[in-house]
Amino acid sequence: MCMSSLNACLHIPIDVTRNDTVAEGSVRLVGGDTTLEGRVEVFLLGHWGTVCDNHWDFLDAIVVCRQLSNLQAVEAPSYAAFAAGSGPSWYSRVDCTGTERNLTECSKSISNTGSACSHPRDAGAVCSSQSHTLLCICMYTRLKCGCTCECTYIHACVCYVYAYARVVLLPC
């Protein structure tokens, strides 16, 4: 802080990772090409931190996108697809049902020390701002699609492969 009457500056260290104006449990997407995609970060204990990708799937991305102004999920990237974060890693083993309003309501392991996993395992999300998008979730086993989807609007089925924890968009 500079005091012009004294012609001297007093330097006060500021923790730029701390932000007391953000609500506990808020999420954001960082490192994507747009604001609709990026590494998932959650605000806990006064700091932004990442989410581990172990058990991360499309249902978790649905909740993140919903929490971000009711957006629709398109993809649930893993392995730091949007670059590894820094600082604390808060959540691991996130297991949402897809019906939760925010990530804090999902089953998960929390690391109060911020060491849930290493940053090369940061989870991501890709959202869509198209509010009329309706996605159909097909449950797969062993890479065989055993279901049918009734897809509207975007004309794609979201197929979740349990064995490989990945999401595939298929044309209807």
Taking the CA atoms of residue 62, residue 65, residue 69 and residue 72 in that order, the dihedral angle to the nearest 10 degrees is -60
Where along the chain do its domains lie?
17-130, 134-172
For 33, the token pair is 């090409």
The pTM of this model reads 0.67
pLDDT in tens, 61-87: 999 999 998 788 999 999 999 999 999
Per-residue pLDDT band at 141 (split at 50, 70, 90): very low
Q: What is the pLDDT of residue 47?
A: 94
Count Cβ atoms below 10 Å from residue 122 Cβ, excluding itself: 30
**Higher pLDDT pick, 2 / 111:** 111
**CA dist., res. 50 & res. 119, Å (int):** 8
Residue written as tokens 């309706």?
134
- pLDDT tops 60 at residue 45: yes
17-130 sits in which CATH class?
alpha beta
Per-residue pLDDT band at 147 (split at 50, 70, 90): very low
Give the per-residue SS3 of 7-29: CEECCCCCCCCECCCCCCCCEEE
Task: Classify strands 136-141 and 156-161 as parallel, antiparallel or unpaired.
Answer: parallel
pLDDT in tens, 155-167: 444 444 333 334 4
The helix (H) or strand (E) run that includes residue 67 is helix 58-67
pLDDT in tens, 26-41: 999 999 999 999 999 9
- pLDDT tops 70 at residue 20: no
- pLDDT tops 70 at residue 135: no
b vs e for 22-44, b when ≥16 Cβ sit within 10 Å of the residue's Cβ? eeeebbbbbbbeeebbbbbbbbb
**CA dist., res. 88 & res. 41, Å (int):** 10
Q: What is the pLDDT of residue 131?
A: 53
